[in-house]
Amino acid sequence: MLWVMIYRPADLRDVDVAALAMIDELRGELHHFLGEPRRWYGSLRRTALARAVQGSNSIEGYHASVEDVAAIVEGEEPVEVNEETRLAVAGYRDAMTYVLQLARQPVRIDDTLLTSLQFMMLRHDLTKNPGQWRPGAIWIENQDGHVVYTAPDRELVEPLIGELIGTLQAQEGTPLVRATMAHLNLALIHPFSDGNGRMARCLQSLVLAGEGIVSPEFASIEEYLGRHTSAYYSVLAEVAQGHWSPDRSTRPWIEFCLTAHFRQARTVLRRIRETEELWDRCEQLAGRHRLPPRCVGALCDAARGWRLRRSLYIKVTKSTLGEDLTDATATRDLRALAEAGLVEAQGEKRGRVYVPTKDLRQVWDAIRTRRPEPTDDSPYPTGTQPSPPGL
């Protein structure tokens, strides 16, 4: 029997405990706003999920706008995305959607769940062995072709994954640190032929789903990691030092991730306030133009500059207000928005889309101009971590 060891969390210092307390306080504020149904919740939830999916895929080189990712999440055709990126985003959407479903009940993580999630992400390319552990050795090269990380030998994959699953099922320690360590270990075990980074980030969201404080799409740091990819890779390299080395300290990784959670939670709180104001303003616009209240969610999307089409309008209305619309009703609503001067129709028949007018765009622009300048706030007063700009 092989003796195996995975990376273990560094002993928490007083400063780490204080950082966790600061994050818990922010999560408590989030729960206050998100713990009960609000008019704008569906709109905020859709964009939060889209940003998480966008962030995780951008790290792997699959770039798409939040608008296009949100369209793919809803099963709609994106505007400016190549087929490879569309399939990658759709696969990650499926995995994250499954995580969100699992979050409704206690989650038991095992190897079958991990391989199933990876299959969802990579099933569009069977050459990448979706749903299977990698068949042999694997390493990571930089842009110059130099090997920067060598994963553990193939014979260690199952034992290491078993050890990782055992720590998750034991549920020892604080959930946030447990999720952070699950992310690190899966990324460095590199058990799959492809999709290891995405799986590691998805696993972190899955572990957080069991925390039950806020929904996983609001607890995820995938957007933050996508915006700060260089710092993310740097801290992984600092811990690993080019090869599997579980005896090394994981303190830099824990500090980096806790800083990410702190900053992302502050960003979500800011977006809650902005979304609430945007909803109020769009609601006033709808009332002024005698438009049906059900159009407010779609107006919020359009105010951000996103395009509308009939099928998407139906889905947005469903996700924001729970109303099921017929095609005829959606067509009438969109025509009324155009007659009110809030959107403009482009294209014909099935290809028709509605783009926001300048007047509608100014609603969101006015809110954004009052956004505070990004800061380098950190839960670590010593400033030991890199301080990339805030979101």
What local confidence, expressed as pLDDT, does residue 390 receive?
37
- Rounded mean pLDDT, 198-203: 95
Handedness of CA 101, 103, 106, 107 (dihedral sign): positive
Whether 252 contacts 238, CB under 8 Å: yes
What local confidence, expressed as pLDDT, does residue 386 receive?
45
What one-character-per-residue DSSP string does 116-172 give? Answer: HHHHHHHTT-GGG-TTS--SS--EEE-TTS-EEEEPPPGGGHHHHHHHHHHHHHHT-
What is the rounded distance in angstroms from the CA atom of residue 331 to the CA atom of residue 333?
A: 5
Distance of CA 97 to the CA centre of its chain: 11
Question: Is pLDDT of 2 > 90?
Answer: no
- Percent of all residues in the chain with a pLDDT value above 70, rounded to a whole number: 95
What local confidence, expressed as pLDDT, does residue 208 receive?
87
Question: Is pLDDT of 68 > 50?
Answer: yes
Whether 283 contacts 320, CB under 8 Å: no
Which is more confident, 373 or 334? 334
- Rounded mean pLDDT, 102-122: 91
Question: Is pLDDT of 387 > 50?
Answer: no
Domain ranges of the chain: 14-268, 289-368
The pLDDT tens digits of the residues spanning 155-185 come to 999 999 999 999 998 888 899 999 999 999 9
What local confidence, expressed as pLDDT, does residue 171 receive?
84
Question: Is pLDDT of 195 > 70?
Answer: yes
Residue 126: CB partners within 8 Å, gap ≥ 6? Answer: none
What local confidence, expressed as pLDDT, does residue 371 receive?
86
Q: Classify domain 289-368 by CATH number.
A: 1.10.10.10
The pLDDT tens digits of the residues spanning 299-348 come to 999 999 999 999 999 999 988 877 889 999 999 999 999 999 999 999 88
Q: How confident is the model at residue 4 (pLDDT cuts 50, 70, 90)?
A: low
Q: How confident is the model at residue 388 (pLDDT cuts 50, 70, 90)?
A: very low
Which residue spans within the chain are E strands per DSSP? 139-141, 147-150, 343-346, 353-356
Average pLDDT across the chain, whole number? 90
Q: How confident is the model at residue 101 (pLDDT cuts 50, 70, 90)?
A: confident
Question: Is pLDDT of 9 > 70?
Answer: yes
What is the rounded distance in angstroms from the CA atom of residue 105 to the CA atom of residue 319?
A: 21
Label the pairing between strands 353-356 and 343-346: antiparallel
Longest dimension (CA), the chain: 73
Helices 296-303 and 41-59 cross at an angle (nearest 10°) of 40
Tell me the CATH architecture of domain 14-268.
Orthogonal Bundle (1.10)
- Percent of all residues in the chain with a pLDDT value above 90, rounded to a whole number: 73
Q: For 15-29, 127-141, 313-327, which range has the lowest pLDDT when averaged over its residues? A: 313-327
- Report how far apart, in Å, the C-alpha atoms of 68 and of each of 60, 137, 279, 352, 374 are: 17, 36, 21, 16, 25
